[in-house]
Amino acid sequence: MIFKNAEVVFKNGVIRADLTVENGKIAAIGAAGEGETVDCSGLTIFPGLIDMHVHLREPGFERKEDVLSGSRAAVKGGFTQICCMPNTDPVIDNKVVVTYLKARAKEVGLCKIHPIGAITKGQKGEELSAIGGMKAAGIVALSEDGKSVLSSKLMANAMLYASDFGLKCLCHCEDPALSDGGVVNEGYNATVTGLKGSIRAAEDIMIARELCLAESLDLPVHICHVSTYSGVQLIREAKARGVKVTAETCPHYFTLTDDAIRSFDTNTKVNPPLREEKDRLAIVEGLKDGTLDCIVTDHAPHHEDDKRVEYDRAAFGISGLETSFALSYTQLVKGGVLTLPQLAEKMSGAPARILGLVGGELKVGAPADLTIADLGKKWTIDPKDFVSKGKNTPFGGREVFGKVVYTVVDGGIKYSLARGNKA
């Protein structure tokens, strides 16, 4: 199959080219010969996007999302590979759940799905989970997801033991004694709404601890969904010292501030919380200067019942797979922060490298994982159009640029804007 006349995003620039795919791999780049053709005039081909922080909710919470609906949302959003977090029921803390998810992913057959295992059994923070067994079954990383491992000693052991299996810990950073039931950022907007705030230090203290552990043990660590200006600075300083740290952030942290909570719209409730303009600007700067390596969605789909309640009672999280690319392109590329190759790095190259996944770059011989988008296309986000079961977005009504037109996984078109999902 030949993807003809596209603008192709390479590491060092964007070149008009034809991309020939054979046997699921990129066979040639450049002027192509004869064959089945997909006209990509006016479209841009990115290396298949990778989201290393997704909640698929299966097993256990299929009312919110399942492997099929999550996969459909992923390919609609341009993602060819996603990593699913372990806060399911049962928790992904043993090889049986990992094997189940791998089988479900194969059955659905839309995007590649890589499970992430819990650091501790049942996410209880007491004993290490079956890390070796889960690695053999296919996990690509470890995460306690949604909380920190409170014992610093156990966390150090987790990092050491994980390194024997070539695994990294992806760290949700939160000191629960400090966040203390807070549901929004502590500050002016928390005061005016009367909603309980959580101070930046609740996140920063755990970021600092993970950095200290990584430095002491000389092991890599990855910091999840950074939301504070001070957290960005901690990571920047650690990188300058040579600490092996990588870090991610999400579209909502570089797009919104906690002004959004003033409506009491529970779709603005997310953990860590939306913060202030100085944080938003620091996140943008961190993406620009490389302190923040990648963009993830932290896709957290919820049933309407979990959100149509008092703000304090509502579930944390934003359904993000179907808006991430457009928000990132609009805010960062059209906003003059990143070039197209840099956006591809944040959404594909870096996640592949951090987790050791195959992909992340368009080159001959690589799997034909492609995200093909119409960057000129302006559209309005409407949760009613989501294929995810989670319609929970604070971005409804927002105008964005960049629409995914085709998502190609191993050479097969798994989503097309004209025809919808293949499964």
Partner 1 sequence: MNRKDLLGLYDLSAEEIEEILTLGLSYKAALKRGEKEHSALKGRSVITLFYENSTRTRTSFELAAKFLGAKVVSISVATSSVQKGETLVDTGKTLDAMKNDVIVIRHPMGGAPKLLADTVKAHVVNGGDGMNEHPTQALLDMLTLKEHLGSIKGLKVAILGDIRHSRVAKSNLYGLTKLGAEVRLFGPKTLLPEGLEREGAIVCSSREEAVKGADAVMGLRIQLERQKAGNFPSLGEFAKYYGVDEQVLSHAKKGALVLHPGPVNRGVELSSGVIDGAQSHIEDQVLSGLAVRMSVLSLLGKEERA
Q: Which of residues 259-288 bind partner 1 (CB under 8 A)?
A: 264
Q: Are 115 and 92 in contact (CB under 8 A)?
A: yes
39: contact with partner 1 by CB under 8 A: no
Here the tokens at position 5 are 């006349």
Beta bridge partners of 404: 373
37 phi/psi in degrees, rounded to 5: -120, 140
In the complex with partner 1, the residue whose CB is nearer, 186 or 248, is: 186
Catalytic residue among 66, 175, 298, 369: 298
Longest dimension (CA), the chain: 65
For partner 1, which residue of 151, 191, 216, 380 counts as binding (CB under 8 A)?
A: 191
In the complex with partner 1, the residue whose CB is nearer, 77 or 317, is: 317
Cβ neighbours of residue 203 closer than 8 Å, sequence gap 6 or more: 173, 174, 175, 226, 227, 228, 231, 272
195: contact with partner 1 by CB under 8 A: yes
Which string of x and - marks every residue 143-182 that binds partner 1 (by CB under 8 A)?
A: ----------------------------------------
Region from 91-99, 141-149, 191-199, 385-393 binding partner 1, contact rule CB under 8 A: 191-199
What whole-number distance in Å separates Cα of residue 409 and Cα of residue 415?
9
398: contact with partner 1 by CB under 8 A: no
329: contact with partner 1 by CB under 8 A: no
User: Quick one: which of 246, 256, 253 has its CA closest to 283?
Assistant: 253
In the complex with partner 1, the residue whose CB is nearer, 186 or 293, is: 186
The three-class DSSP label of residue 53 is: strand
394: contact with partner 1 by CB under 8 A: no
For partner 1, which residue of 15, 192, 364, 423 counts as binding (CB under 8 A)?
A: 192
245 phi/psi in degrees, rounded to 5: -115, 140
In whole angstroms, the minimum distance from the beta carbon of 186 to partner 1 comes to: 7
Beta bridge partners of 372: 45, 406
73: contact with partner 1 by CB under 8 A: no
In the complex with partner 1, the residue whose CB is nearer, 127 or 180, is: 180
Strand order in the sheet with 79-84: 49-54, 79-84, 112-115
Q: Are 143 and 85 in contact (CB under 8 A)?
A: yes
8-state DSSP, 316 = P
397: contact with partner 1 by CB under 8 A: no
Binding-site size, partner 1 (CB under 8 A)? 20
190 phi/psi in degrees, rounded to 5: -65, -40
For partner 1, which residue of 15, 136, 160, 309 counts as binding (CB under 8 A)?
A: 309
Q: In the annotation, is 298 catalytic? A: yes
Size (the chain), residues: 423
188: contact with partner 1 by CB under 8 A: yes
Amino acid at 301: P
For partner 1, which residue of 41, 240, 310, 365 counts as binding (CB under 8 A)?
A: 310
What whole-number distance in Å separates Cα of residue 415 and Cα of residue 423?
9
Binding site for partner 1 (CB under 8 A): 186-197, 264, 305, 308-313
Active site amino acids: 298
